[in-house]
Amino acid sequence: MKKQILITLTLTLIAAFGKAQQLKPNSINRAKSTSFITEIRPHLEGDKTGDVMSIYNSKNIYHNKVPKNRNPDISVERGDKSGILNAFIQVFGDKRLQQLLPERYIQMTFYVNTSGRILEIEFFLDKNTLVTAGELEALEKALKANVWFKLRPSEIKGQDFIDIASGVSYRRILDRTQK
């Protein structure tokens, strides 16, 4: 009898911990050392149903700001073409990517300094995403370590930061064709 109670208690705690990692809309979601704020923002492009959630590190300061002297014609090139691919594989692995395939993709806005380094990232996911706060914490760190951008000084003159939107397909990460 005691063994059954112990097993039930252990399974309940495991399930509760797993749920605690899930991202809940319009709340603060904690990972190991990062808190993520989630907001349902139905005004996001292409989302008329309120099914997209904006997720950003609680320490971020750029997500609601517009760069000074924004240049809409700026040309941006990633420094390492495989940086995004490597970051996603490092964090998720093939088995987890298979589980995420029904969600199809993740959208991101990179907030980049004028040297091309990522300062912050805002993620856009389905409001019922399977991605956890812990995975986003690891992904944020991996992207900051693996991704950088080549910027032309003449095009970023007078800007304090640059915002760069990017979409990543889980299928293309899994089959290694994501660029």
Would you write out the chain's pLDDT as a tens digit for each of its 179 residues? 665 655 554 444 444 444 446 888 889 999 999 999 999 976 555 555 678 999 999 999 998 888 888 877 788 888 888 999 999 999 999 999 999 999 989 999 999 999 999 999 999 999 899 999 999 999 999 999 999 999 988 888 888 999 999 999 999 999 999 88
Q: What is the pLDDT of residue 77?
A: 83
C-alpha to C-alpha distances, 75 to 87, 92, 110, 149, 153, nearest whole angstrom: 23, 30, 15, 10, 11
Contact present, 36 and 136 (Cβ < 8 Å): yes
Residue 95 in 3-state DSSP?
A: helix
Question: How far, CA to CA in Å, does 101 sit from each of 86, 119, 145, 172?
Answer: 18, 28, 25, 10
CA 177 to the chain's CA centroid: 19
CA distance readout (Å), 151 to 24, 127, 142, 158, 167:
36, 33, 21, 13, 19
